[in-house]
Structure 1
C-alpha cells in the first residue's frame, strides 16, 4: 500500500511560474485510463511510460506525459501523431542512465526555423532527424528488454553549441501552436509552458526532453508521424504488451516510407 504524490500545476499565464499543490494518494486509489479502442489512446501512452522508472522524473516531464495522454484521446490524426511521437521522444531521452545531449533535435529545430525565413528546403535536416527518431526507437527497445543494460550507458552525443541547450525555442513553438486547433490547442499550450521550463533547466536530461519534444512536435515531423501512425502507434502499444523489437521494425520502415511523400 505505497502512497504516491499527485502534482497539480496551475499557471495563471503562459509565462507565469505555475504553483504546485501536492496531495498524498494511495496507489490503489488511482484508476489508470481505460483503452478507448483508438489506434492511440491515453491507456496505451500511459502504459508505455510505465516501462521507465519515474522515481526521479522531473515535475515538468510528468506534466508533459499527462498532456500526452490527453492528446492521445483526441480523435484527430494530428493530435494522435503528437502523442505517439512525443512519447517516443521522452522515452528515448529517459532511457539511458547518463544523459547525452540534445544536439540532434536542436540542430533540426534551428534548420526548420531558418527554412521558414529563407525558403530553403528542410528536407535533408528532416531526413536526418527521422533517422534520430529511429535510433530512439532502437534504444527504447533495448531499455524495454533489459533496463539494467542501459543504467550506466551514455545517451547520444553530437557536436553543437551548448550541447543542444541553445535553439530557437520561441520561434519553434510559435509554429507548433499555430498548427494546433480545436480542443488540442489548449493541450499544446500546456505543453509549451512545460517545455519552456525544460528549455531553461540546468539538468541535462530535463533539457534534452524539452528539446526532443519541441523537435518532434514541429509540423514536418508531425506530418511524417501521421503518415506512419499505424505502425508507430503499434510500437508504442508493444512496449507494455511485449515483443517491441518486431513492432520497432515496422515503425522504422513506416517512417522511412513517409519520408518519400
Structure 2
C-alpha cells in the first residue's frame, strides 16, 4: 500500500508559517535559500513518483534519479569549506581573550570581552554541528535524505525544518564572524574604558548566554530530531523488511524440509 504523508491541518498552518518566518530570521535568510536545494533532494524519495513503491526496497543512487553527481557530496563540500573559517574564528577569539589589553589598561572592556566569548562559543558549536551532520549524512541512505526532504515521518509533510538545519552551519559562521568583528570595533572605540566584568556580571551573562544558549538549543534539537527520524525509519522499514525476509526464509526452509521428507517416504514405499 502507498505510504501516506501526514499534512498539517489548516488551523495549524499559521503556526507553521510563523515558525518558518522565525527560522528564516534566525538564519539570516539562509533557510529560504537552502529550501530550494532541499526540494531537489526529494528526487531520492521514489515514493513521490511511485506511491506503491515500498521505502528502502532497493538502493537508490544519484544516477538512478537523474543526477550527474551526488547532491549529498555537494552539500558536504560546502560544509567542509566552512570548517576553515570557523577554525580561524575559534583561534582568533581565543587569542583575543588571552592576550592582555594593548591600551595600557588593566583589562579589556567588558563588552568587547563578552562579544569575543560569544564568537568563541558560536564557532565551537558550528564545528560540532558540522561534524555531526557529516557523520549523519555519510551514514544515511540517499533515500533517507530524500524522505527527510519530502517531510516524511514526524515532519508531517514539512521540509522547512530540514532547510533550517542545513542552513545552520552557514548562519553560525556568519554570526560568529559578526560578533568577532563587533568585539574588535568595541575594543577600539572604548579603548580608554577598562570597565571590569565584575561590575556588569548580569549584562555580561545576558550578552553571552542568549546567543550561545539559543544556538545550543538548535544544536541539541538538530541531533535529537535527526536521530529520532533515523531510528523510526530503520525500525519502521529496514528492520521490518529484514524480519519479513527472515520469516520468508524460514517458510521456504520448512517447505523444503517437508518436500524432502515426502520424497524419502515415497522412496521407502
TM-score higher than 0.5 here? no
Shorter-chain TM-score range: under 0.3
Going by fraction, where is helix more abundant, 1 or 2? 2
With normalisation by structure 1, the TM-score equals 0.26
Whose RCO is larger (CA < 8 A, sep 6+)?
2
With normalisation by structure 2, the TM-score equals 0.25
Q: Flag the structure with larger Rg.
A: 2
